[in-house]
Structure 1
Amino acid sequence: MSHIHRRTTAANLLTACADLLRCPVCTRPMSVVNNTNLTCANKHSYDISKYGYVNLLSRPASTKYGKPLFESRHIISEHGLFEPMDHWISQYIQRSSQSCCRPVALLDAGCGEGSHLSYIHERLTSIYGHTGIVGVGLDIAKEGVAMASKRDSSLVWLVADLARSPLSDDRFDYILNFLSPSNYAEFGRLLKEDGRIIKVVPGPDYLRELRTLLYGEPNKSPHSSQGIQDRFLEHFQLVDSQRLYYKRRLDRELTRHLVHMTPLSWGADAERLHDALQVDSLEITVDLAVLIGKEKE
């Protein structure tokens, strides 16, 4: 797809779902101008990039999530490490959205390079058709969003800060949040009255073999899984949950990508990191909790 075609496709998609968008500066509605810009009534304007995404940040974000990490994460996803999670969530949305007014609007808050949203959107589109599902991926990391937009032009991709998101009130049926930070006040603003937040958090055994390689014991984790779940329950009423627990064997190349894709590697010393990158294969545990919540009454 040429850059002109990609930009035009993005402009048409943004026009079709303009009601989902608002200016991150003044909160006024936004519209597409000349197929090249997303502009509000107060003339705050943002370019539609040649790859089809829109950068709505007022200044570049400082983040450790760079292109190599997102490339490795995409390769890991393409080889199916998270497919059981994506499949379960797709089925849940299919089951629970029967009574929702179409189109069903999905937001992936912290979409990274977009693999999860693309998978779920593709599965639901095969059921509801292209006009039945609207998907928006948002992340503060430009490298990840740029990669997502190059690979999937059927979704709206936005570089934006979740704390100042360019999204309108009460517009989304589902907010997806995969292994990434949350802004629960913002989620509450964005969800429709009967909307659902689908948050995935790591279980106690998540990547335990990699944690053992990098730190000598399996309990090294940057966040408390229980603490994350407790904060979720402070803000949302739990309506469903599912634990996904399975193992996959990765060859040497995929193990290297696993090391590169996770922040777990950031705190490891150089020798252990080197050794982890040299293993011939690794059986890895995926332990995830999927929490489904709605606003408290």
Structure 2
Amino acid sequence: MKKMDQKIIQMKEMDLLLCPKCREELHVEEKSLKCKNRHTYDVSKKGTVNFVLGYGEEYYNLAMLEARERVMGEGFFEEILTAMAEEIYEDILLLEKEGDVIRILDAGCGDGSHLAMLGEALKEKGLQVSMVGVDLSKDGILLAGRKMNDALYFVADLSALPFKDNSFDVILNILSPASYKEFQRVLSPSGRAYKVIPGAKYLTELRKLYGLSEYDNGEIVSHLKSHTVVYKERDIRAQKKVERYADDLLLMTPMLWDKTILEPGAKLSKVTIDVHLATFGYPKKIEEGVSL
């Protein structure tokens, strides 16, 4: 079966898509998605769909995203993804949902590597998962669509997600902007969201090479806590040897773009991973029994 046909079948089975223009349900018609107002979105040969209607975030270009994909393949974020898999699994057991199909949305999925790796980790723990990734970058979704897994990938704006209310049990938001209003809408009442935020020492060696100040996540954490209920917090730290892929690491890191290195001959041998993992949700949805 062609990849496009396989993904179209998945879209039919999941039945969670809304038109971002008019918020009416989308249905599959041949090789397109259409709503009752005849707004139409074509399914690509790789089974992806572009919902952003002619514009997208080109800042994250293909070369940068391919470098990121290679860095991911080197296990750069292994500790982060392992910790997330542990937290998700514990929460699924706590909520007594281990026999259900867990619907996962990666909001800001980039090239799809995080979602693919986390999905495999959760399957190894015995969970059944249904995965969807969205990103504003057309190139990111192009790369994600090449992956040989059963996830669905869409070019979409986080502030106007093309999904029905209460569509997901889990939302991933990894080193990416968030849209808490939309997360609240598409997350199920008992669902959990997992946000990864850089810590003060995140990529500190790179920051020193380029003369950048220490990272301060106080504003992001404060914003998160003012819009959600944070259930758990966890700090994840590791040191990674990066000699083999230092050039890719520099290319994939947005904070370094257009910056000048202070020591042109310096060799980058190790880098610090320091992130804050927050598990949050919207318990008021359970109390009121409605989507807010």
TM-score of the alignment, normalized to the shorter chain, above 0.5? yes
**Percent identity among equivalent residues?**
30
Alignment counterpart, residue 275 of structure 2, candidates 274, 278, 288 = 288
Q: Is the 1:22–1:168 contact (alpha carbons within 8 Å) kept by the matching residues of 2?
A: yes
Alignment counterpart, residue 229 of structure 1, candidates 209, 221, 225 = 221
Give distance in 2, aligned partners of 1:148 and 1:43.
Answer: 27
Q: Is the 1:235–1:296 contact (alpha carbons within 8 Å) kept by the matching residues of 2?
A: no
Q: Is the 1:111–1:137 contact (alpha carbons within 8 Å) kept by the matching residues of 2?
A: yes
Q: Name the aligned partner's letter for residue 96 of structure 1.
A: D
Q: Is the 2:209–2:263 contact (alpha carbons within 8 Å) kept by the matching residues of 1?
A: no
Q: What per-residue deviation string (whole Å, max 9, x for no partner) do you get for residues 77-126 of structure 1?
A: 11011011111111221121131272111110000001111011112223
Q: Is the 2:116–2:149 contact (alpha carbons within 8 Å) kept by the matching residues of 1?
A: no
Q: Secondary structure at the match of 2:210?
A: helix
Shift of 1:296: 5.0
1:49 aligned partner: 44
> Could you state the TM-score of these two structures normalised by the residue count of structure 1?
0.90
1:203 aligned partner: 199
Counterparts of 1:10-89 in structure 2, within 5 Å, are 10-18=7-15, 20-34=16-30, 36-89=31-84
2:111 aligned partner: 113
Give distance in 2, aligned partners of 1:76 and 1:31.
Answer: 37
Q: Name the aligned partner's letter for residue 262 of structure 1.
A: T
Give distance in 2, aligned partners of 1:95 and 1:182.
Answer: 24
Q: Secondary structure at the match of 2:257?
A: helix
Q: Is the 2:194–2:277 contact (alpha carbons within 8 Å) kept by the matching residues of 1?
A: yes
Q: Name the aligned partner's letter for residue 80 of structure 1.
A: G
Q: What per-residue deviation string (whole Å, max 9, x for no partner) do you get for residues 7-33 of structure 1?
A: 111111111112x21111111111222
Q: Name the aligned partner's letter for residue 213 of structure 1.
A: L
Give distance in 2, aligned partners of 1:194 and 1:296.
Answer: 7
Give distance in 1, aligned partners of 2:222 and 2:9.
Answer: 41
RMSD value, Cα: 1.7
2:288 aligned partner: none
Q: Secondary structure at the match of 1:255?
A: helix
Q: Is the 1:241–1:289 contact (alpha carbons within 8 Å) kept by the matching residues of 2?
A: yes
Shift of 1:267: 4.1
Matched, 1:144 2:131: no
Give distance in 2, aligned partners of 1:55 and 1:128.
Answer: 32
1:245 aligned partner: 237
Q: Secondary structure at the match of 1:186?
A: helix
> Could you state the TM-score of these two structures normalised by the residue count of structure 2?
0.91
Q: Secondary structure at the match of 2:242?
A: strand
Shift of 1:153: 3.6
Q: Secondary structure at the match of 1:11?
A: helix
Q: Name the aligned partner's letter for residue 110 of structure 2.
A: G
Q: Name the aligned partner's letter for residue 25 of structure 2.
A: P
Q: What per-residue deviation string (whole Å, max 9, x for no partner) do you get for residues 18-74 of structure 1?
A: 2x211111111112222x111222221111101111111122224311101111111
Q: Is the 2:76–2:240 contact (alpha carbons within 8 Å) kept by the matching residues of 1?
A: yes
Give distance in 1, aligned partners of 2:26 and 2:57.
Answer: 26
Give distance in 2, aligned partners of 1:157 and 1:138.
Answer: 6
Q: Name the aligned partner's letter for residue 9 of structure 2.
A: N
Cα gap change, 1:73 to 1:7, in 2 (>3 Å): same
Q: Is the 2:141–2:155 contact (alpha carbons within 8 Å) kept by the matching residues of 1?
A: yes
Q: Secondary structure at the match of 1:69?
A: helix
1:173 aligned partner: 169
Q: Name the aligned partner's letter for residue 266 of structure 1.
A: W
Q: What per-residue deviation string (whole Å, max 9, x for no partner) do you get for residues 184-219 of structure 1?
A: 11111111111111000000000000011112x552
1:91 aligned partner: 86
